[in-house]
Amino acid sequence: MSNNCFHCLESVPPGFSATVVIDDSAKPMCCIGCQTVAETIVSQGMTDYYKFRTVTAGKVEQLVPEQLELIKSYDNEDIQDEFIALNGDISEVLLTVEGITCAACAWLIEKQLLNMPAVKLVDVNTSTNRAMIQWRKEALPLSEIIKSLLEIGYKAYPFQADLEASQKQLLAKAYIRRLGVAGLMTMQVMMFAFAMYFGMFSGMEESFEQYFRWISLILASPVILYSAMPFLTNAINGLKAKQLNMDIPVSLAIFGAYGASSYATLMAVGEVYFESICMFTFLLLLGKYLEFRARLKASEFTANLQKLLPLTARTLDENGHEHIIAAKKLKLNDRVLIKAGETIPADGIIFAGSTTVDESMMTGEHLPVNKYIDHHVFAGTVNHDGAIEILINKIGQNTLLNQIIKLQHSALATRPKLVEITDKVAQWFVACLLIFASITAISWYQIDPEHAFWITIAVLVATCPCALSLAIPTALTCAVATLTRKGVLIKQSHVLETLPQLTRFAFDKTGTLTQGRFSLDAVDVLVDSLSKNRILALAAQLESYSEHPIATAFNEFTPAQRDLTNIKIHPGLGITGEDDNYHYAIGKSGWFDSKKTNAQATFYIDQQPVANFYFVDEVKSNATLLISSLQQQGLTCHMLTGDASNAGQQIARKLKLDSFKLGCLPEDKQNEVKLWSSQGEIVAMVGDGVNDSPVFNSAHLSIAMETGADISKNTADVVLLNSDLAAIDHLLKISKKTRRIIKQNLALSLLYNGSILPLAALGLVAPWMAVIGMSASSIIVISNSLRLLKL
Amino acid sequence: MSVIYILVPIAILFVLIAIGVFFWAVRGEQFSDLNKQGHSILFEDDKEQHKKSND
């Protein structure tokens, strides 16, 4: 333990020694970052954090000046419009905070920010990783708040709630309020109902019974008129759309029984069913709320979108002076300077400089693309290593990025949908119910007109589809909880119903079937004087200064001691460095006028090539297993990739895929999937890039990788948190099991409804029997669903 | 037994107060993050203490 950092619990690297005195004893630290953070925490008197945290903090990264500049840019008034709400002289902002792991973090953040007098209110939500802050903006710029969070080790950026997310939040609160009212009131109504049950057996004064009925009516009214309202509105909306949904029999039972019971109370005749309908409303709301919350959590997780586009841009005026302006204020033909590591703010043409650009978010391919004068660069892609000046030629909605997003939105409207089981069952259930109720009413009207109305109401209450309506949401909630535990986030309710019906899987290549990063495949040493290991160590040392994706392939060879100096990065070429004797370089083949080969990187000593390196993007270890398992289950597997090279062909052959298509644009992927679904196939798309997000909305089901672009995770129905392909197999298994449980639940509840129906029709069901029957059947269904939690 | 004509309305009044408190708690975001609220009792408010130690 003593060798681990007290702050982040990572091991302390040899040669680094630093301690911070926490609660009177010196604790080891692994890096300057952790040390500063721990010191801040101690000096602010917040060591309680270490006492009560349940999860360790992440390793603290040191900030680079560019990041500080970015934080400063949040103070720009033009940008602030988008995420700061003004309320008098109090501003309110929602920040997404990275690294919140447990309740102790929330406390630490709240305490740190409230130490500043200008901050009025902080509310940290540990499940969404967001902090709501209210403060006086004139007294304290936003950048200071973000900086003070950095001091205690949390990275924060403004969160822009989209309309959908904020509506969901409101809906969640409304659910809780309705649930609270229904719960509290149902308890009271039950209490009086029990008094009346006893009165039925042992006799009760007429005046008391009438009094209890009135009290029950008063207590039940908020439950029915407030808590149960969504059922009625859903039913009416369904009818307007000429669809019979589950809410129709539900509202028929609730509001029919409520009306009849109120009438009975007013007129002092017949029976009252207040307790049944209150209990029913509460159970149903609970089931619906739990299902809603499971999905809300999943969508909140992916809603913390890092902005795809930068907020600011550096424009150059005629005299070559730099001005930092809000990126949305860019105009056509503006000249913009983009430094290394920055994100390009709008589409444009390079007119000065050369660089390599990481276009992986567009194409899914991680290898940077070389860009020279007159080349196009696209908004949202990241400039790798050189500074360039571009002339803006497309802004706003016309940029390639927004074209892709538009494609995705338009696909959503025409998304293929399967009929959900609930709707199918509801349709014939409603029909049967109405027929049966009217038969009962008509026949009893012939026999005993006085009782006909009350017996019909008893039929409505007895057939009240409580267990039936709980059958599906409870099973889905339990399955979603199990999957979340296994690292699979389910964001849409249809997922588990669609899965068992799939006939086709389509995969993206890079990052989905493959690792999405390069590993060393072969080293070709061209001289005898140096060993392969020595070359690798030197190359790795140079590459450790590079952010090029190929550089990560050398990580495992990086020596502990670095002795090279004068490291220089040459955009589009490679990296050079020196020691006392030699000049070293690693970069593209053909550098320094050497002979060009097809090696992906070459190592040079004194400008002479000494070794060639070849890399592959390795196929994920469990991809083969998944594909063969899917094929055994009768599903066909296909690959749609943006990569046009023959690497795709090799992988398709290696994995024995049924078909593959190379060089696909986002539209091509979409068209392919649309073609399949028009042929009656049910298609799932698995991908990770921005370029996959349009096709996600064309497929019946979409699965994104956690390592993928934020926008694709936000669009997808399912997110695989550990990007593990084997999870798809689990997903299929659990969805099949869920389907079985749903069928059992439906059978059980129909059995209950079916057996109590004749009794009710014969006028043999008293209100207390209805309550017991309904609760018992609901509990059986819920217990059956709970079995899904044990998977 | 006629006392219940007074006691029951009083009980209902209490229920209404409970619902009022519940609505207030929902508006105060107390139900948006159950994890945090459960832990909040553990932390001492030692603001005074560290102010002194800083002096």
Phi and psi torsions of A138, nearest 5°: -65, -30
Q: How far is B26 from chain A (nearest CA, A)?
A: 7
In A, minimum Cα distance to B9 occurs at A215
Torsion over CA: A383, A387, A393, A397 (sign): positive
Q: Which of A95, A82, A79 is nearest to A135 (CA)?
A: A95
Residue B55: per-residue pLDDT: 42
Which residues of A fall within a CB distance of 8 Å from B14? none
Q: Which of A420, A431, A327, A344 is nearest to A379 (CA)?
A: A344
Contact A494, A718 (CB under 8 A): no
Q: Give the Å distances, CA to CA, from A347 to A35, A197, A310, A336.
A: 42, 75, 13, 11
Decide if A180 and B19 are in contact by the 8 Å CB cutoff.
yes
Which residues of B fall within a CB distance of 8 Å from A123? 29
Query: Of chain B residues 21-50, which have a CB less than 8 A from chain A?
Result: 22-23, 26-27, 29, 31-33, 35-36, 38-40, 42-44, 46-47, 49-50
Which residues of B fall within a CB distance of 8 Å from A104? 39, 43
Decide if A215 and B12 are in contact by the 8 Å CB cutoff.
yes
Q: How many CB atoms lie within 10 A of CB A139?
A: 12
Residue A71: per-residue pLDDT: 79
Contact A587, A575 (CB under 8 A): yes
Report d(CA A319, CA A325) in Å as an integer.
17
Give the residue, A84 or A740, on which the prediction is more confident: A740
Report d(CA A253, CA A699) in Å as an integer.
38
Amino acid identity for residue A611 in this structure: A
Report d(CA A53, CA A109) in Å as an integer.
13
Name the burial class of residue A561, with classes exposed (0-12), middle (13-18) and buried (19+) by CB atoms within 10 angstroms of its CB.
Answer: exposed
pLDDT bracket for residue A175 (50, 70, 90): very high
Lateral strand order in the sheet of A355-358: A369-371, A355-358, A382-383
Mean pLDDT for the stretch of residues A680-694: 86
Residue A281: per-residue pLDDT: 92
3-state DSSP call for residue A615?
strand
Beta bridge partners of residue A59, listed in sequence order: none
Mean pLDDT for the stretch of residues A591-608: 84
Which residues of A fall within a CB distance of 8 Å from B33? 106, 124-128
3-state DSSP call for residue A705?
strand
Q: How many CB atoms lie within 10 A of CB B25?
A: 14
Residue B4 has pLDDT above 90, yes or no: no
Residue A65 DSSP label: H
Question: Mean pLDDT for chain A?
Answer: 83
Q: Which of B22, B29, B23 is nearest to A130 (CA)?
A: B29
Q: Within an 8 Å CB–CB cutoff, is residue A470 touching chain B?
A: no
Q: Give the Å distances, CA to CA, from A240 to A419, A429, A430.
A: 18, 19, 16
Pairs of residues, one from chain A and one from chain B, whose beta carbons lie less than 8 Å apart: 86
- Tokens (6 digits) for A408: 């995705």
Q: Which of A264, A309, A282 is nearest to A454 (CA)?
A: A264
Give the residue, A190 or A311, on which the prediction is more confident: A190
Which residues of B fall within a CB distance of 8 Å from A45? 46-47, 49-51, 53
Give the residue, A509 or A64, on which the prediction is more confident: A509
Beta strands in A285-431 (DSSP E): 312-316, 322-326, 335-338, 347-352, 355-358, 369-371, 376-377, 382-383, 388-394
Residue A288: per-residue pLDDT: 86
Q: Which of A187-191, A289-293, A403-407, B40-44 has the highest mean pLDDT?
A: A187-191
Mean pLDDT for the stretch of residues A222-248: 89
Strand pairing class (A382-383; A355-358): antiparallel
pLDDT bracket for residue A261 (50, 70, 90): very high
Q: How far is A301 from chain B (nearest CA, A)?
A: 14
Decide if A45 and B8 are in contact by the 8 Å CB cutoff.
no
Which residues of B fall within a CB distance of 8 Å from A46? 50
Find out if CATH 2.30.170 is the number for domain A1-60.
yes
Report d(CA A331, CA A348) in Å as an integer.
11
Decide if A127 and B42 are in contact by the 8 Å CB cutoff.
no
Q: Taking each helix axis as running N to C, give the angle between helix A163-202 and helix B4-27, from 0 to 180 degrees, rounded to the nearest 10.
A: 160
Token pair 């029990």 is found at A194
- Tokens (6 digits) for A494: 């249809």
Mean pLDDT for the stretch of residues A123-143: 85
In A, minimum Cα distance to B46 occurs at A45
Residue B50 has pLDDT above 70, yes or no: no
Decide if A126 and B36 are in contact by the 8 Å CB cutoff.
yes
A451-471 pLDDT per residue, tens: 888 888 888 887 777 788 888
Beta bridge partners of residue A335, listed in sequence order: A316, A391
CATH class of A516-618: alpha beta
Report d(CA A337, CA A313) in Å as an integer.
8
pLDDT bracket for residue A187 (50, 70, 90): very high
The most distant pair of C-alpha atoms in chain B lies apart, rounded to whole Å, by 67
Residue A246: per-residue pLDDT: 80
Residue A258: per-residue pLDDT: 94
Decide if A106 and B36 are in contact by the 8 Å CB cutoff.
yes
Give the residue, A296 or A705, on which the prediction is more confident: A705
Decide if A52 and B39 are in contact by the 8 Å CB cutoff.
yes
Which residues of A fall within a CB distance of 8 Å from B4? 208, 211
Mean pLDDT for the stretch of residues A195-212: 84
Which residues of A fall within a CB distance of 8 Å from B31? 173, 176
Phi and psi torsions of B38, nearest 5°: -65, -30
Q: Within an 8 Å CB–CB cutoff, is residue B16 touching chain A?
A: no
Beta bridge partners of residue A745, listed in sequence order: none
Which one of A100, A184, A204 makes the best mutation probe of the B interface by having the most chain B beta carbons within 10 Å?
A184
Decide if A127 and B23 are in contact by the 8 Å CB cutoff.
no
pLDDT bracket for residue B10 (50, 70, 90): very high
Residue A351: per-residue pLDDT: 87
Q: How far is A298 from chain B (nearest CA, A)?
A: 14
Report d(CA A387, CA A351) in Å as an integer.
11
Q: Within an 8 Å CB–CB cutoff, is residue B19 touching chain A?
A: yes
Report d(CA A569, CA A266) in Å as an integer.
88
CATH code given to domain A488-503+621-721: 3.40.50.1000
Q: Within an 8 Å CB–CB cutoff, is residue A123 touching chain B?
A: yes
Report d(CA A704, CA A693) in Å as an integer.
9
- Tokens (6 digits) for A667: 């539209």
Decide if A219 and B50 are in contact by the 8 Å CB cutoff.
no
In B, minimum Cα distance to A130 occurs at B33
Q: Taking each helix axis as running N to C, give the angle between helix A65-73 and helix A142-151, from 0 to 180 degrees, rounded to the nearest 10.
A: 140
In A, minimum Cα distance to B37 occurs at A103
Amino acid identity for residue A224 in this structure: I
Q: Report the complex ipTM.
A: 0.82
Q: How far is A288 from chain B (nearest CA, A)?
A: 17
Q: DSSP letter string over A488-528?
A: EEE-STTHHHHGGG--EEEE-IIIIIEEEEEEEEEEEE--S
Strand pairing class (A90-98; A84-87): antiparallel
Which residues of A fall within a CB distance of 8 Å from B39? 52, 102-104, 106-107
Report d(CA A345, CA A394) in Å as an integer.
10
Residue A114: per-residue pLDDT: 86
Q: In chain A, what are the domain boundaries?
A: 1-60, 65-161, 166-297+422-475+739-790, 312-344+347-398, 488-503+621-721, 516-618
3-state DSSP call for residue A321?
coil
pLDDT bracket for residue A712 (50, 70, 90): confident
Q: What percent of chain A has pLDDT over 90?
A: 13
Report d(CA A201, CA A196) in Å as an integer.
9
Name the burial class of residue A284, with classes exposed (0-12), middle (13-18) and buried (19+) by CB atoms within 10 angstroms of its CB.
Answer: buried
Residue from the list A52, A132, A215 with its beta carbon closest to the beta carbon of B43: A52
Report d(CA A423, CA A518) in Å as an integer.
48
Query: Of chain A residues 473-502, which have a CB less than 8 A from chain B?
Result: none
Contacts of A358 (CB under 8 A, 6+ apart): A366, A368, A369, A381, A382, A384, A549
Q: Within an 8 Å CB–CB cutoff, is residue A537 touching chain B?
A: no
Decide if B44 and A127 are in contact by the 8 Å CB cutoff.
no
Q: Within an 8 Å CB–CB cutoff, is residue A181 touching chain B?
A: yes
Residue B53: per-residue pLDDT: 44
A525-563 pLDDT per residue, tens: 888 888 888 888 888 888 877 767 777 788 778 776 767
Decide if A107 and B43 are in contact by the 8 Å CB cutoff.
yes
Beta bridge partners of residue A605, listed in sequence order: A584, A608
3-state DSSP call for residue A683?
strand
Gyration radius of chain B's alpha carbons: 20
Decide if A104 and B39 are in contact by the 8 Å CB cutoff.
yes
Q: In chain B, what are the domain boundaries?
A: 4-54
Residue from the list B4, B31, B51 with its beta carbon closest to the beta carbon of A176: B31
Report d(CA A655, CA A296) in Å as an integer.
36
CATH code given to domain A312-344+347-398: 2.70.150.10
Please tell me chain A's helix, strand, coil percentages from 3-state DSSP, rounded to the nearest 5.
50, 20, 30
Contacts of A341 (CB under 8 A, 6+ apart): A66, A382, A383, A384, A547
Q: Which of A48, A49, A54, A7 is nearest to A27 (CA)?
A: A7
Q: Which of A417, A490, A422, A404 is nearest to A683 (CA)?
A: A417
Residue A399: per-residue pLDDT: 81
Q: Which of A54, A168, A96, A126 is nearest to B34 (CA)?
A: A126
Residue A55 DSSP label: S
Strand pairing class (A90-98; A155-158): antiparallel
pLDDT bracket for residue B45 (50, 70, 90): low
Strand pairing class (A376-377; A488-490): unpaired
Mean pLDDT for the stretch of residues A36-63: 76
Which residues of B fall within a CB distance of 8 Å from A124? 33, 36
Q: How many residues does chain B have?
A: 55
Q: What is the pTM of this model?
A: 0.74
Contacts of A72 (CB under 8 A, 6+ apart): A143
Residue B47: per-residue pLDDT: 47
Torsion over CA: A58, A59, A62, A64 (sign): negative
Phi and psi torsions of A223, nearest 5°: -60, -45
Q: DSSP letter string over B25-41?
A: HHHTTTTT-HHHHHHGG
Decide if B42 and A177 are in contact by the 8 Å CB cutoff.
no
CATH code given to domain A65-161: 3.30.70.100
Q: Which of A41, A57, A70, A78 is nearest to A8 (CA)?
A: A57
Q: Within an 8 Å CB–CB cutoff, is residue B17 touching chain A?
A: no
Decide if B31 and A43 are in contact by the 8 Å CB cutoff.
no
Mean pLDDT for the stretch of residues A72-88: 78
Mean pLDDT for the stretch of residues A91-100: 84
Which residues of A fall within a CB distance of 8 Å from B29? 123, 125, 132
Decide if B19 and A184 are in contact by the 8 Å CB cutoff.
yes
Residue from the list A48, A127, A172 with its beta carbon closest to the beta carbon of B43: A48
Token pair 């500043």 is found at A116
Torsion over CA: B24, B27, B31, B36 (sign): negative
Report d(CA A367, CA A273) in Å as an integer.
69
